[in-house]
């Protein structure tokens, strides 16, 4: 197995563990790390989809989520509800990129 595939599998497993820690069942992993074009200091881009984020202050959500991230790489998170994400895809370039090129990750949080 090549190194790039092994690294990607490791990142996906850490994302799954992160999702379990924060109680989120669905995410979209996108950007340079997801498509194998990262550089040593690239961040990790992740959309977290949960109705629990609706109506909450973004700064508070981000602070809580970052406290649960364990890897030594910057995590760029977009925490939104599924409805908010659908609406954002019409005007937000990050949401458009995530939808077009992202890898959907789902887990059972029960």
**58-103 pLDDT, tens per residue?**
999 999 999 999 998 999 999 999 999 999 999 999 999 999 999 9
Helix (H) or strand (E) holding 20: helix 3-22
Calculate what percentage of the chain has a pLDDT beyond 70. Answer: 94
Q: Where are the domains of the chain?
A: 3-106
Would the pLDDT of 2 be above 70?
A: no
Give 28's strand partners: 47, 104
Q: At 33, list the tokens.
A: 């790390």
pLDDT given for residue 59 in this prediction: 93
């690294």: which residue's tokens? Answer: 7
Of the candidate CATH numbers 2.60.110.10, 3.50.50.60, 3.30.460.10, 3.10.129.10, the domain formed by 3-106 belongs to 3.30.460.10
The 10 Å Cβ neighbour count of residue 99 is: 17
Threshold 0.75, pTM exceeds = yes
């Amino acid at each position: 197995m090549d190194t790039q595939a092994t690294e990607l599998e490791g990142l996906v497993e850490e994302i799954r563990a992160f999702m379990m820690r924060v109680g989120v069942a669905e995410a979209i992993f996108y950007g340079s790390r997801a498509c194998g074009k990262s550089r040593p200091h690239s961040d990790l881009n992740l959309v977290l989809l949960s109705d629990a984020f609706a109506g909450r202050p973004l700064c508070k959500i981000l602070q809580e989520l970052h406290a649960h991230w364990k890897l030594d790489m910057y995590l760029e998170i977009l925490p939104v509800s599924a409805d908010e994400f659908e609406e954002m895809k019409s005007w937000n370039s990050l949401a458009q990129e995530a939808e077009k090129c992202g890898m959907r990750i789902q887990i059972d949080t029960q």
